[in-house]
Structure 1
Amino acid sequence: MQGQQTPKKRRYITGIDGMRTLAVIGVIVFHLAPSSLPGGFLGVPIFLVLAGYLVTYFMLRDWNRDRSLHIGSFLKRRIFRLYPTLVAVLVATTAYITLFQRSLLTNIRATLGTNMAFIYNWFEIGHGQSYFDRAMGESPFTHLWTLSLEGQFYLIWPLVIIILLKFKKKWQAAAVLMVGAVASAVEMAMLYNPETVNRVYYGTDTRAFALLIGASLAFIWPMDKLSENVGRLNHHLLNTIGLAAVIGMGYFYVTMSGSDDFAYDGGMFIFSVLATLLVAVVVHPGSSWNKWLTNPVFTYIGKRSYGIYVYQFPVMVFYENQVKSIGNHPIINAIIQVAIILIISELSYRFVEQPLIHYQWRNLGSDLHNLSLHPGRIISGTIAVSFIVLTVIGMQLQPSHPQESALKKTITARSVEAQKKNARAIKLQKKQEKEVAAFSHNQKLEKDAVKNLTTKQKKTMKEYKLSAQNMVTLQHTPMTAIGDSVMLDVSGGLQDLFPGAVVDGKVGRQMDEVGPIVKSMADSGQLSQNVFFNIGTNGTVTKDQVEDVLTDIGPNRDVYWTTAYVPNRSWQNQVNNTLKAEAKKHSNVHLIDWYGAAKQHPEWFTSDGIHPNNTGVKQFASLVATSIAKDKEK
């Protein structure tokens, strides 16, 4: 299939814009509604595979043409490709934060500096939040880690190519790169820690495999040496390989989650291999896939995919912060957000990206002089300077020694405290389980217990507005509580009321993580008679997921589930509708309407509108305790 032709005039492969479109659509849908396309984050490996292939191909083409890599001009082109739009989004985002959302100024100097130096991904490992945390005061800069990875690639790749050119056979260089890709994937699997994926998700070494696989393809599959005359059989073979790659990538888009162990144990590597196969087919003139991935919409989006990618997350974060009712109208709000992203990206493409890529910087002095002759340019210049000034002001407003956000510190502290109480609760549960039968509807024992409430218990009872009977009931109610960051936030209040409550909470947890936890607890005999869930903060909850969890729990345990209150997230109503439908089907499932109680009380929440403050914690715990106590006292 690979002809032995001399290098010919470069073809513009429009299908590559189609691949970029598939990548950026995946990322945007994932950010708008992560559980509706859990593998949308895999759009990033598509970008990386394309970067590895195209950069390596053009460098090898230069070498084959005149035995020079033109490193200076290569770096210049790459820098002017990345920097203008990157600087624009950094300045515009920081200016907005300075004016409207100063809580996000934490670490702003380091964020700007590491982005400009292309080392932001390493800063994120130590200081950033997980890419998959959707309810912890998201940073509008998180997604920029990929630009740092690409920047590092551009800087070191000419040196790597010089070494690889020492091999006499191109397949040998390709094999070396594939060995490096496998080593990178193995390192990801070895370093993977499900409690914090930042090291392997953001690390250059653990994400290099996508770049290396794409680069290896360039050595053995250069697009200018591929013959169009491949014969009918090979034509169909190429198309079939492309179809298999697309089906495989689509399957991973729909099924692979960023919380799946498999994603880090080879899943992302396999996806990158599939993306590389699709690249190989798209660039081959004997295949139909270039034509199939070419249309006006894909071409438009693909050419602007860089700008769309860098602007999409700030738009979403700021929009979600300002519009508190996204959960009630998710589709309309998603359309509005996409429209804003496209408008900003188009303006950036026309007035930042394209002009500065081709700008002759030696004319900077004269152009600044001529600026005064054009009123329109004066206005544009004034706006740009204003943004820069606001950025500088924002950098001065942040603390000299940035600290973790108050919310993150609070939840971390409560998580540590919950773990301490869990050890005591596990021991207490055994005693409670023995007492449950004895206390059940035994009025004498209950009356004696009411009389013997301690001073601390009476104080807690008043604090959470419970009756003495409620308090006694809760003292003899063992409970396993499983949830996300909101569960950690309220863990102290729950464990005050339920001394036998074992709390298993995790920041960023989604519903697909709950099933394995429940199954493990059930199999090991650690699941108590009462199971309490608060899940739905970070993504959708499906009927099948709930059914699988309830099957593992069994019909003889009581299940209590709070409705989700995430008004500025698109999945709120979907989660609550699913839970209501499932509660009607199962007599042992009891719904606790946190959404109904909270929607009229914004004063119960921190600035993100999702996590309860101290008042909200008490209201949450009181609602849960009262609901469970009443159910047990029937």
Structure 2
Amino acid sequence: MKNTKRLVKDRYITGFDGIRTIAVLGVILYHLFPTVLVGGYLGVPVFFAVSGYLITNLLRQEWIQTKEVDLKAFYIRRMKRLYPALIAMLVLSTAYITIFQSNLLNNIHGEIISSLLYLNNWWQIFQGTSYFDHFAVPSPFTHIWSLAVEAQYYLVWPIVFVLLEKFIKYPGKIIKIISSLTLLSVLLMALFYTPNTDPTRVYYGTDTRLFSILLGSAFAFIWPSYRLKKEIPQSARHFLNGVGIISLFIIIMSFLFLADHYNFVYYGGMFIFTIFAVLLVAVTAHPGADLNRWLTNPVFDWIGKRSYGIYLYQFPVMVFYEAKIKNLTHFSLWHSFIELLLILGISELSYRYIEKPFKKFHYKYSLLVLKDLVSKPLFKRWKIISGIGIFVGLLALYGLIIAPSNQIDAQQQELQEQIEVNKKKVEDRKSHIIQGKSDSSPQVAKELDYGLIPEEKERAKNMEISVIGDSVILNASADLQKIFPKMVIDSDVGRQLYASVPVVEKLKKEKMFKDTILIGLGTNGSFTEAQFNDFMHAIGEKKVYWINVRVPTKRWQDDVNSMLEEMKKKYKNLTIIDWYNYSNAHEEWFYDDHVHPNEIGRIKYATFVAKHLVDGKGRPVK
């Protein structure tokens, strides 16, 4: 008779809930306060490390006891743990989108299917979506990428584990194989990463992120929890506690300072971080150390047990809530507090009514349960809950039926087409200048005077200006080049300051870096003083005009504008063009995103910028 009893089944490592709490809070606060907890995204490799260790530890216990792994039972346990809450989140979110935010129905089929198949990370890669384009209309399902990576591991690893145990047998050799795969994943991240570009491919890829899970798996062979003894020498206890405290300290410091765009992160930094995460897991698992007790308390227990639901609902809550707030910069902390309460409240309902019941539910009795439910009085609690669930499910189904594919609303279409046309124009003009050809485009607009007096128009004709910017300045580039025919524009959608030093160097190499520089950056995210200094150092002593930002839907608007005001005091060659205060009271100048100027707004934008530039002193000509 097969013995299926698990070893040390009764030892639940409560400190792991503490680690999960630290991880999930890091991720949430990274999204709520991106300029404060710049490294909170590293909560994900902490989750990966815990999962790798726990799953492999359980598989090893089963193998040692029975010399086999019940793969069917393993997959059923994982599905019962993961799918009910995921499906509930997808259904609830789709129903909400159908009623309140129908613009997000576009392409929702691919998002739902890829999420259910746990292929969302690869789907997002092939769609060309960016985890780091903070301005783009966000999907409430963006975060499913990490669950997909874990689920792919859950699918493949038990089979690989059994093969290793059967044919390799020796733990030392197995550890070497896992370590080799871990280093291969680290190497792939470094090889696929290109500095100063969007790192989404290496951030999402299973191949480039697997090392965090595999490192946890390797430690399950090195440091199996069921072989660790509570009674150890005092010196060993102190040593373990020291390792755990140092690891926890490095994790917290990384959350605070290791920003996602640092090259170091992808050239081994995330791997080094994962080593400390695994060390924290290992020390917490040891009954002879004090970390497990230190990481165990009612708050950590509550959050840790609900961490899956908290992670699931963070993005839907943030996306749906923030879409209804026109200006997040007003009472920003209050908005963040409300979002946090909503996430915790919904995750509690998920834990109580979805995760716990379905984890214990025997699906073979589904028909009997359904029959019993139908026979109950109409106003019994579970019958009411089931009725609400059916209604929400039908609403979500309706949303999927009417959902368009690859369609955007009229304003988005107009903005997208305007940006694409302008981008081609500025690239063509740049190409003509490089090749020494004359530019056939209009020198100064005949149909519009842009509010400029003849003296200003004449001055603008001869001004040589280099522009570095994002989609806002690209959107208005046609109007700017009508006013300034010698203006050279290098702008791109989603561009951020930290990736813009190479743009300066490229313009210098092309001999198109003029004496007057116009900058339009900050729409897509904030920046540090060090990043600003690097950028200004690359520019040198040239005269710099910097257009501040109007991004009321994003938390970093005030941070960016405050930083620019501070930097103006430091750099004498820097002038701030205060587009924010000039335009802030004029919603009619903008598309529905409240950021990109519409047809009227583009003229206002170009005129306002032009008047500052032609004056040469940072103020409009009277």
Does TM-score exceed 0.5, indicating one fold?
Answer: yes
* Alignment-derived partner of residue 442 in structure 1: none
* Alignment-derived partner of residue 392 in structure 2: 387
Q: Is the 8 Å Cα contact of residues 197 and 499 (structure 2) preserved in structure 1?
A: no
Q: Quick check: 408-417 or 368-377, which moved more?
A: 408-417
Q: Quick check: 13-22 or 70-79, which moved more?
A: 13-22
* Alignment-derived partner of residue 121 in structure 1: 121
* Alignment-derived partner of residue 223 in structure 1: 225
CA 494–298 in structure 1, closer or farther in 2 if over 3 Å, else same: farther
What's the offset of the Cα at 1:586?
A: 3.7
Q: Are residues 1:175 and 2:162 paired?
A: no
* Alignment-derived partner of residue 316 in structure 2: 314
For residues 613 and 151 of structure 1, the distance between their equivalents in structure 2, rounded to whole angstroms, comes to 44
Matches within 5 A, 1:328-343: 328-343=330-345
* Alignment-derived partner of residue 469 in structure 2: 483
Q: Is the 8 Å Cα contact of residues 445 and 482 (structure 2) preserved in structure 1?
A: no
For residues 382 and 202 of structure 1, the distance between their equivalents in structure 2, rounded to whole angstroms, comes to 38
* Alignment-derived partner of residue 274 in structure 2: 272
CA 516–385 in structure 1, closer or farther in 2 if over 3 Å, else same: same
Residue 613 of structure 1 aligns with an amino acid whose one-letter code is: N
SS, match of residue 142 in structure 1: coil
Q: Is the 8 Å Cα contact of residues 541 and 575 (structure 1) preserved in structure 2?
A: yes
CA 37–484 in structure 1, closer or farther in 2 if over 3 Å, else same: farther
Q: Is the 8 Å Cα contact of residues 422 and 501 (structure 1) preserved in structure 2?
A: no
Give the alignment partner of residue 214 of structure 1, picking from 203, 213, 216. Answer: 216
For residues 441 and 154 of structure 2, the distance between their equivalents in structure 1, rounded to whole angstroms, comes to 68
Matches within 5 A, 1:489-568: 489-514=475-500, 518=504, 527-554=513-540, 556-568=541-553
For residues 491 and 218 of structure 2, the distance between their equivalents in structure 1, rounded to whole angstroms, comes to 42
For residues 422 and 144 of structure 2, the distance between their equivalents in structure 1, rounded to whole angstroms, comes to 30
Deviations 1:589-608 (A, max 9, x none): 21112211332222333333
Residue 465 of structure 1 aligns with an amino acid whose one-letter code is: G
What's the offset of the Cα at 1:426?
A: 5.6
SS, match of residue 446 in structure 2: helix
What's the offset of the Cα at 1:402?
A: 6.0
Q: Quick check: 154-163 or 239-248, which moved more?
A: 239-248
* Alignment-derived partner of residue 135 in structure 1: 135
Give the alignment partner of residue 421 of structure 1, picking from 422, 429, 432. Answer: 429
For residues 578 and 178 of structure 2, the distance between their equivalents in structure 1, rounded to whole angstroms, comes to 55
* Alignment-derived partner of residue 398 in structure 1: 403
What's the offset of the Cα at 1:325?
A: 1.6
Q: Is the 8 Å Cα contact of residues 190 and 267 (structure 2) preserved in structure 1?
A: yes
CA 283–104 in structure 1, closer or farther in 2 if over 3 Å, else same: same
Equivalent pairs counted in the alignment come to 606
* Alignment-derived partner of residue 89 in structure 1: 89
SS, match of residue 13 in structure 1: coil
SS, match of residue 158 in structure 1: helix
For residues 455 and 563 of structure 1, the distance between their equivalents in structure 2, rounded to whole angstroms, comes to 28
Residue 423 of structure 1 aligns with an amino acid whose one-letter code is: S
Task: Please list every run of 5 or more consecutive structure 2 residues that lacks an aligned counterpart in the other structure.
Answer: 1-5
SS, match of residue 264 in structure 1: helix
For residues 412 and 174 of structure 1, the distance between their equivalents in structure 2, rounded to whole angstroms, comes to 52
For residues 575 and 392 of structure 1, the distance between their equivalents in structure 2, rounded to whole angstroms, comes to 42
Q: Quick check: 331-340 or 165-174, which moved more?
A: 165-174
CA 9–265 in structure 1, closer or farther in 2 if over 3 Å, else same: same
* Alignment-derived partner of residue 571 in structure 1: 556
Identity of aligned residues (%): 38
For residues 78 and 459 of structure 2, the distance between their equivalents in structure 1, rounded to whole angstroms, comes to 67
Give the alignment partner of residue 364 of structure 1, picking from 363, 366, 372. Answer: 366
For residues 492 and 232 of structure 2, the distance between their equivalents in structure 1, rounded to whole angstroms, comes to 54
TM-score normalized by the length of structure 1: 0.88
TM-score normalized by the length of structure 2: 0.90
Q: CA RMSD in A?
A: 2.8
CA 583–371 in structure 1, closer or farther in 2 if over 3 Å, else same: same
* Alignment-derived partner of residue 40 in structure 1: 40
Q: Is the 8 Å Cα contact of residues 118 and 151 (structure 1) preserved in structure 2?
A: yes
Q: Are residues 1:606 and 2:591 paired?
A: yes
CA 521–10 in structure 1, closer or farther in 2 if over 3 Å, else same: farther
For residues 273 and 575 of structure 1, the distance between their equivalents in structure 2, rounded to whole angstroms, comes to 34
* Alignment-derived partner of residue 629 in structure 1: 614
What's the offset of the Cα at 1:547?
A: 4.1
SS, match of residue 74 in structure 1: helix
CA 260–484 in structure 1, closer or farther in 2 if over 3 Å, else same: farther
SS, match of residue 565 in structure 1: coil
SS, match of residue 591 in structure 1: strand
CA 517–269 in structure 1, closer or farther in 2 if over 3 Å, else same: farther
What's the offset of the Cα at 1:539?
A: 2.7
Matches within 5 A, 1:63-74: 63-74=63-74
SS, match of residue 169 in structure 2: coil
Matches within 5 A, 1:190-201: 190-193=191-194, 194-201=196-203
For residues 409 and 138 of structure 1, the distance between their equivalents in structure 2, rounded to whole angstroms, comes to 20
Q: Is the 8 Å Cα contact of residues 49 and 214 (structure 1) preserved in structure 2?
A: yes
Give the alignment partner of residue 444 of structure 2, picking from 432, 449, 457. Answer: 457
Matches within 5 A, 1:49-64: 49-64=49-64
Task: Please list every run of 5 or more consecutive structure 1 residues that lacks an aligned counterpart in the other structure.
Answer: 1-5, 432-452
SS, match of residue 463 in structure 2: coil
For residues 502 and 236 of structure 2, the distance between their equivalents in structure 1, rounded to whole angstroms, comes to 45
What's the offset of the Cα at 1:569?
A: 1.5
CA 220–573 in structure 1, closer or farther in 2 if over 3 Å, else same: same
CA 454–181 in structure 1, closer or farther in 2 if over 3 Å, else same: closer
SS, match of residue 533 in structure 1: strand
Q: Is the 8 Å Cα contact of residues 444 and 461 (structure 2) preserved in structure 1?
A: no
Q: Is the 8 Å Cα contact of residues 423 and 474 (structure 2) preserved in structure 1?
A: yes
For residues 486 and 36 of structure 2, the distance between their equivalents in structure 1, rounded to whole angstroms, comes to 36
Deviations 1:359-416 (A, max 9, x none): 1222322322333424133332232122212222222222356689745665455444
Deviations 1:344-363 (A, max 9, x none): 11111111111111112223
Q: Quick check: 467-476 or 382-391, which moved more?
A: 467-476
Q: Is the 8 Å Cα contact of residues 484 and 506 (structure 1) preserved in structure 2?
A: yes
Q: Is the 8 Å Cα contact of residues 526 and 560 (structure 2) preserved in structure 1?
A: yes
* Alignment-derived partner of residue 604 in structure 2: 619
Q: Is the 8 Å Cα contact of residues 91 and 387 (structure 1) preserved in structure 2?
A: yes
Q: Quick check: 503-512 or 254-263, which moved more?
A: 503-512
* Alignment-derived partner of residue 323 in structure 1: 325
Deviations 1:594-630 (A, max 9, x none): 2113322223333332233333333322221122122
Deviations 1:15-59 (A, max 9, x none): 211111111111111112323222211111111111111111111
